Amino acid sequence: MRGYTVKMKAHRIVLLLIFLVVFPSILSAQERRCSICHGKKDFSVKDPSGKTRSLYVNESVLSNSSHGKLACMDCHTDAFEIPHAKKLKKVDCSACHDKRRILEKGPGIDYFQYRESVHAKELKKGNKKAPDCALCHGSHDILSKNDIKSRGYRLNIPDKICGKCHEKALSEYRKSVHGSYTTKGDITPPVCTDCHTEHGIKRTADPTSTIYATNIVEMCVKCHGDYSIMQKYGKKTEEVQTYYESFHGVATKFGEKNIAHCASCHGYHEIRSKEDPLSTINVKNLPVTCGQPKCHPGATANFAKGKVHVNPKSRESGIIFWVAFGFKWLTITVLIVLFAHIFLDFLRKMQEKRKKGI
């Protein structure tokens, strides 16, 4: 019995040694072997087109990244011998970040969403410009999105990720109210991913997109309907309710997609304050905005005379408030009088009828 336990212990110690000493040393030896070439700053290769492509991997950057604890071969799975094949396979992030982890939340679900996105679909079609994981996240330098130096950090997303390809959208965004705040370092206003989502980005025309005509309102309302957020910027949330009660709002709610939603008037990337003379909702520009060919062609300056998000329940609406107020009480009075009459008339006539019946 005792001998057996000793044997067991010895067995365990050997196993432990393998895990603690042998494995790491093999791995680190391998790392060192990779860095023999890839640790050199001038290690590069010439493309068939004649371009020089650097193959240098900065080891200190890699070890400080989110994947710093991984070995080269964890990602470059086909680099198992040296020298390795000339053309290695593309790193397959899904080996770890796949949909099997969808239930746990975290990278799994992101990967799953990415596969449904316009970017993944374009890539599948063979569009070489479409982004894969590395184009946005980087490769050896991936950092947590909470790290201020990370590309994925909120305020870095427009410049360091999306704007790299979507230059026009970026320059418009920078001119917008949203962009002007985020440029100053305010993390509350939306960056690209708040409206377009992070991984599951879809075309505007896709009905499942967050920015589809009938979904976009809900998306703007996430912030513009939130009093605690709007209060910070001296804004009201009244516009949301007034829009919902307007003809535009009702029609959009019932799934009509050719009716004005938030962005139809306020713009998409270049949303400016109405005080800004370049804003689509500036008093001077409203006739043009309302007069779009699909909407109210021939709109005149009269379109700008009066509040747009008018709230009949607010005293600021002036005559509209008072007329609504008057009508409300008139209706209530009429209802009371009518039902009083009906009630009394009914009772009295039933009385008469009974008398006659007897």
Partner 1 sequence: MTKNREYIERFTVSERIIHILLFTSLIILSITGLTLKFHETSLAQWIIKLEGGVLFRGKIHRFFALILIGVFFYHILTIMVTRRGHEFFQDMLFKRKDLIDCKGLIMYNLGLVKNMPRFGRFTPIQKIQYFAAGVSVVILGLSGFMLWFETIFMMIFPKWVIDLSRIVHSFEATLGFIILIVWHLYNVHLNPQVFPMDKSWLNGLISKEDLRERHPLEYERIYGKDEGA
The three-point CA angle 70-73-74 to 5° equals 45
C-beta of 251: minimal distance to partner 1 in Å?
5
Give dist(CA 123, CA 90) in Å, integer: 13
C-beta of 230: minimal distance to partner 1 in Å?
22
100 touching partner 1, by CB under 8 A: no
C-beta of 270: minimal distance to partner 1 in Å?
24
User: Rule CB under 8 A: which of 309-328 touch partner 1?
Assistant: 310, 312, 318-320, 323-324, 327-328
68 touching partner 1, by CB under 8 A: no
C-beta of 252: minimal distance to partner 1 in Å?
9
71 or 308: whose CB is closer to partner 1? 308
C-beta of 222: minimal distance to partner 1 in Å?
20
Annotate 113-156 with DSSP letters as a single string.
HHHHSHHHHHHHHT-TTS--HHHHH-STT---TTSTTSTTSGGG
Report yes or no: 152 and 137 within 8 Å, Cβ to Cβ.
yes
Give dist(CA 44, CA 237) in Å, integer: 56
The amino acid present at 83, given as its one-letter code, is: P
Determine which residue in the list 182, 302, 314, 316 makes contact with partner 1, applying CB under 8 A: 302
118 or 299: whose CB is closer to partner 1? 299
Determine which residue in the list 47, 60, 298, 315 makes contact with partner 1, applying CB under 8 A: 298
Helices and strands, counts by H and E, the chain: 17, 2
4 or 254: whose CB is closer to partner 1? 254
The tokens describing 129, both together, are 């410009």
C-beta of 311: minimal distance to partner 1 in Å?
10
288 touching partner 1, by CB under 8 A: no
What are the CA-CA distances from residue 36 to residues 42, 150, 282, 322, 352 (Å)?
Answer: 12, 28, 62, 82, 112
331 touching partner 1, by CB under 8 A: yes
Determine which residue in the list 24, 106, 255, 277 makes contact with partner 1, applying CB under 8 A: 255
7 or 328: whose CB is closer to partner 1? 328
Q: Give 94: exposed, middle or buried? Use CB within 10 Å, 0-12, 13-18, 19+.
A: middle
Q: Which stretch binds partner 1 (CB under 8 A): 5-13, 210-218, 231-239, 251-259?
A: 251-259
Gyration radius of the chain over CA positions? 33
Taking alpha carbons only, the member of 257, 265, 272, 269 closest to residue 309 is 265
Taking alpha carbons only, the member of 279, 177, 171, 170 closest to residue 220 is 177
The amino acid present at 7, given as its one-letter code, is: K
229 or 308: whose CB is closer to partner 1? 308
Determine which residue in the list 6, 254, 293, 315 makes contact with partner 1, applying CB under 8 A: 254
307 touching partner 1, by CB under 8 A: yes
Give residues in contact with partner 1 (CB under 8 A): 247, 250-251, 253-256, 296-300, 302-308, 310, 312, 318-320, 323-324, 327-328, 330-331, 334-335, 338-339, 341-342, 344-346, 348-353
